[in-house]
Structure 1
Amino acid sequence: MPPFSHRVYGGDVCSYCGCQSIEMIGRFMAEHEDIVNLAGDLRRTAVSGDAQAVSDALDSAVGHLQPHTGAEEKGLFTVLRRNPDFTDHIATLCAEHDRLDELAEQIRGGHLELIDTFVHELREHIDKEENGLFPAAAIEMSGEDWDEAETLTRAP
């Protein structure tokens, strides 16, 4: 665990670099917490065996996840991708977004045994963003870059 960090919902969230004070990163980190909590609800609901409750919990988790990943890709990732040092990492994170969508569809199709995989991969993905990409973006991006990322995120 990095120095001066604390545990949140099973993941490490840095508190030493201050990147969460950047509006976009703070928003994404808050959304991460909500999404992980909803994924936990999905996991707990699956134990009940109630198919409708599982479907509702999955809808809730995915209903928060997809707009979040879309916003990351549309704004922050688009700006960071221009830097060759970030291109491969951004491609990996986008592939992980796609993988989470695929797992959600498989779960929706009745493969409840994949719920633990979904939750695990979600948490691993969030860890890469919060403890890798976000602090790096805070260092790399200028004020103009952040403004552009915000504009791109809001664009229709």
Structure 2
Amino acid sequence: MCEYCGCQAVTAIDELTREHDTVVNMIGEVRAAHAAGDVAGMAAVARRIAAVLGPHTAVEEHGLFPLLAGDFPEQIAALEDEHRRIEAVLDAASGGTPADPAWPRRLLDALEVLREHILKEQDGVFPAALTTLSGDDWDAVDEVRRRQTASAAG
């Protein structure tokens, strides 16, 4: 994805970007499963996407976004709203394949929102953070990541 502003030199942004890349690849897997009529496969990949996005979203919402919300309140609120909308569709697959026949279409629609969401972060949030945040701010974001990693290792 974005490599022109140098923001990937910041560890926190590099990690978030790698997670975005992983999710984008999984979106392709969902589309392939959909084309094959494999709703169970779509649900399985949705669970994998949710597993990546859980800690990823926590780093954004508890680390990065609060540091930017003062300067960009509407944009941050919109991104957080998109997080909730995407999570709701992914969560429907948390216990297996959803029985709702409309769920596959809702998943594809949510993943389209997610794809656009990723572009907003990569092309807007990350470069803005690079120019706005201090070293101490980045340390705080890194600490949120450390807590997420420790929590996942449980």
Q: Deviations over 1:14-52 (max 9, x none)?
A: 332101111100110010000111121111112222333
Letter in 2 for 1:72: E
Shift of 1:120: 1.1
Q: Which runs of 5+ in 1 are unaligned?
A: 1-12
**TM-score, normalisation: structure 2:** 0.82
**TM-score, normalisation: structure 1:** 0.81
Q: Matched residues in 1 for 2:127 and 2:33: separation?
A: 34
Q: 1:88 aligns with which of 74, 78, 84?
A: 74
**Mapped pair 1:49 → 2:49:** no
Where does residue 87 of structure 2 map in the other structure? 101
**Mapped pair 1:25 → 2:13:** yes
Q: 1:144 aligns with which of 107, 119, 136?
A: 136
CA contact (8 A) 1:79 1:148 kept: no
Aligned-residue CA RMSD (Å): 1.8
Q: Matched residues in 2 for 1:106 and 1:151: separation?
A: 30
Where does residue 111 of structure 2 map in the other structure? 119
Q: Give the SS at the match of 1:42.
A: helix
CA contact (8 A) 1:40 1:119 kept: no
Q: Matched residues in 2 for 1:133 and 1:54: separation?
A: 29
Q: Matched residues in 2 for 1:55 and 1:120: separation?
A: 16
Q: Which runs of 5+ in 2 are unaligned?
A: none
Q: Give the SS at the match of 2:136.
A: helix
Shift of 1:106: 4.9
Q: Give the SS at the match of 1:85.
A: coil
Letter in 2 for 1:76: L
Q: 2:22 aligns with which of 6, 10, 34?
A: 34
Distance 1:133 1:48, change over 3 A: same
CA contact (8 A) 2:61 2:80 kept: yes
Shift of 1:62: 1.5
List aligned pairs for 1:59-98, cutoff 5 A.
59-81=47-69, 84-98=70-84
* Identical aligned residues as a percent: 36
Shift of 1:153: 3.2
Q: Deviations over 1:117-149 (max 9, x none)?
A: 122111100011000010000000011111112
Equivalent pairs, count: 142
